[in-house]
Structure 1
Amino acid sequence: MDERSELPVIDIAALVGGQGNRRQVAAQIDRACRQWGFFYITNHGVSAALERQLEEQSRLFFSRASADKLKIAMVRGGRAWRGYFDVGGELTSGVPDCKEGLYFGQELPEDHPLVHSGTPLHGANLFPDGMPLFRSAVLEYITALSELGHALMAGIALGLGLDETYFARHCTGEPLVLFRIFNYPPAPPDDHSWGVGEHTDYGLLTILKQDDTGGLQVKSEAGGWQPVAPIPGTFVCNIGDMLECMSGGLYRSTPHRVLNRSGQARLSFPFFFDPGFYARVGPIAGLAATPSDGHERWDGASVHDWQGIYGDYVLAKVGRVFPQLQQAVL
C-alpha cells in the first residue's frame, strides 16, 4: 500500500485568525467533504507545546500498571460515561478492538443544569492520581479543540451555501464534545486484529491528532483503502453521520479503520464535535440532496432513515460499543 496520502491539506488560517479569504477556504473544505469526507488542516492555531505535553502525559499514563489505570475505569464514571477501558474493552460491530483508551468530555460541575437533570454523557471527568499536568493538558486541549470545532463548522456552513452561523444557531450552540485518547499496541506480523475495525463516526465533525506511527486508513469511493499518513503540524478531520444526514448526502460519512503494523505503540487523540444532546437533527432545507444507498455503507444502514434528537442517536450507538455500561445511562 502506498503510504502517501491523497487527501487534501487545507490551510484554515482564515477561519481561525479572521484574516484571509474565508470563502476560499470554505470551498476547499466543501470539495474535500464531497470527494472524501476526510481532509488535513494546517495553521489551525492549536499550541504545539500543548500537543507535546498531551502526548507526553498520555504515554506516561499508558505506561502505568493495569491496576493503576483501572482505578479510573469507566464503570466509575456513571452517566457521564468517562474513564479508562482496557485492551479489548471497546467493541466495533461487536468485535473487540485491539486498543486501550480514555474517555473524556467537557468538565461540568454537579450543579450544571445538564448534570443536575441526569443528562447522559455530561459531568465530571476521571483523572489519574499524581498526574496534575495530564489533567491540565486534557482540559486545555478540550477548550482549544472546542473553539476550533466552532471555526470549522462555520467554514462548513459557508461551503454549503449557508450563513456561517447556521450550525451554531441550530445545533452546536452548546455542542456535545467528546474526547478520546487511544493507545494501540503493535499487532504481531501474523495477527490481523484491527486496532479499530471499519466504522463511521456518529456526529458532525471529528478532529484527530495522531502521533507519527501511522495505521489509519480511509475507504475511497472506488472501495480501496487509502492510508492517512501523519503530517507534522496538521490535524485530520472527517465528517460524521449527522453531517451526512443534514447535508442530504452531499457529504459522506466515510468508513475508516486502524491497523498498527509499526512494531510500536500508537497514540491517537480523536475529538468529536457534535450536536448538542437535545438538538434536533434532520436534513437542511434547500440543499440539493443526493442521499446515498444504505447498502453502500459498511453496516448496510442509512443515516437518511433517521432524524430526531441527537442524544437518542448517540446513546444507541455508544451502547453497542460498551454494552456492559449501557444500563448506566438508561
Structure 2
Amino acid sequence: MTERLPIIDMEPLFDAADEAGRRRVADAIAQACEAHGFFYLVGHRIAPAAFAELEAQSRLFFALPVEAKAQIAMSRGGRAWRGWFPLGGELTSGRPDLKEGLYLGSELSPEHPRVRAGLPMHGPNLWPAELPGLKPTVLGYMDAATRAAGVLMEGVSLSLGLDARWFQRAYLAEPTVLFRIFHYPAGGEPDAWGVGEHTDYGLLTLLAQDRFGGLQVKTPGGWVEAPPVEGALVCNIGDMLERLTGGRFRSTPHRVRNVSGHDRLSFPLFFDPDFTARMQPLPVSGRADVDADRAERWDKASVHEFDGTYGDYLLGKVAKVFPQLVDAALG
C-alpha cells in the first residue's frame, strides 16, 4: 500500500473572479475522480477549532452510559432516521460493522413542508440531554462543511465542462445533507471490519477523521491507506455522481479497520442530490459498460441500471443497512 491519494487545495473555488485558479482546481478534481474517486481536500475554510470541539463533544457522547445513549436510539427517530445505534447495529453486505454511531442530518422543524408531508429521512435530530454542547457544535460544523461541499460541487461542474452552477440548478435545489459520527472501539477480532467494503450513495462525502486512521481505499493498483492528514478532509464521490457521469467519475469502494489500538472517531458528511430529483445522466456523460460495472462492484449491482429519484435509491440502500428499522421509518 504505497500509493498516496492526491491533495487538492480548493481555496481558489471560493473566488469566482479567479478563473485560472478555479480551472486548476477543476482539472485536479477531474484527474482524481477519473483515477480513483478519492482525494484529500485542503483550503475548505473549516476552522481547526471546529474539528477539535467536534471530536471533544463526540468522545463525551460515546462515553455516556448505554442507558443514556439509548434515550436517543434510532428507533425513536421515526421517519427522520436519526439517532444512536449500538455496536454492531449497522450492517454492510449483511454483516454487522464493528462500530457504533450517531445519525444526524439537516435540522428540520415539524413545520417544514417535507416533514409535514412525511417524506422519509427528513425531520429533527435527536440530542442527548446530558450534553447540551453537542447540538451547537455539530450544527456549526455541518454548516461549515455544507458550505465547503457546495463550493466544491462548483469545481466538479467545471471539471465536467459545465458551468459552475449546473449541479446547483439541476440537482441541489434542496440538497440531502446527512452527517454521521462513528466510534470504532479498540480491539476486536483480527478479521473484524469497522466498516466492510462499500461505496457511498450520493454525490460527495467529506470525511474528517481523528489522528488514528484506519480508512482504506480500493484503487486500480490495490487497496491503499488513507491516513489522517492534519487539517485535511478526505473527499470521495458517490454512486449517483458515477451514474450521472456515465462512469467517467468512479464511486470507489472503501473500508475501515481499526488496528491503532485506540478508539477511533470519524465524521462523514454526505452532500447529496435533492431527495426528489430524478437521476438522469448529464449532457456530457460517458457511456457506461453496465456488465463490466456489475462485475467489478462489491455488491454486483450496477448503479447505471438505476432509474428513479435520489430518494428512491437512498431508501433502497438504507433499508439493507438497518433492516430492523424499516417498518418504523419507511412504513
Band of TM-score, shorter chain? over 0.9
Give the C-alpha shift of residue 165 in structure 1. 0.7
What letter matches 1:196 in structure 2?
Answer: V
Partner of 1:181: 181
Partner of 2:23: 23
What letter matches 1:231 in structure 2?
Answer: V
Partner of 2:314: 314
* TM-score, length basis structure 2: 0.96
Task: Determine if contact 1:80/1:124 at 8 Å carries over to the other structure.
Answer: yes
What letter matches 2:274 in structure 1?
Answer: G
Give the C-alpha shift of residue 130 in structure 1. 2.7
Task: Determine if contact 1:187/1:259 at 8 Å carries over to the other structure.
Answer: no
Give the C-alpha shift of residue 319 in structure 1. 0.6
Task: Determine if contact 1:211/1:267 at 8 Å carries over to the other structure.
Answer: yes
Partner of 1:144: 144
Q: Give the secondary-structure state (helix, strand or coil) at the position aligned to 2:133.
A: helix
Partner of 1:274: 272
Partner of 2:191: 192
Give the C-alpha shift of residue 177 in structure 1. 0.4
The 5 A counterparts of 1:1-330 are: 1-2=1-2, 6-18=4-16, 20=18, 21-188=21-188, 191-222=190-221, 224-291=222-289, 293=292, 294-328=294-328, 329-330=330-331
Task: Determine if contact 1:13/1:19 at 8 Å carries over to the other structure.
Answer: no
Corresponding residue pairs, total: 326
What letter matches 2:213 in structure 1?
Answer: G
Q: Distance in 2 between matches of 1:87 and 1:16?
A: 39
Give the C-alpha shift of residue 327 in structure 1. 1.1
Give the C-alpha shift of residue 18 in structure 1. 4.4
Render the CA deviation track for 1:129-171: whole Å, top value 9, x for unaligned. 1312111011111111111111111100000001111111011
What letter matches 1:323 in structure 2?
Answer: P
Render the CA deviation track for 1:60-87: whole Å, top value 9, x for unaligned. 1101111111110000000000000000
Q: Give the secondary-structure state (helix, strand or coil) at the position aligned to 2:284.
A: coil
Q: Give the secondary-structure state (helix, strand or coil) at the position aligned to 1:183.
A: strand
Query: Structure 1: any 5+ residue segments left out of the alignment?
Result: none
Query: Structure 2: any 5+ residue segments left out of the alignment?
Result: none
Task: Determine if contact 1:16/1:45 at 8 Å carries over to the other structure.
Answer: no
Q: Distance in 2 between matches of 1:16 and 1:217?
A: 30
| Larger deviation, residues 309-318 vs 18-27 | 18-27
Query: Sequence identity, in percent?
Result: 53
* TM-score, length basis structure 1: 0.96
Give the C-alpha shift of residue 19 in structure 1. 6.2
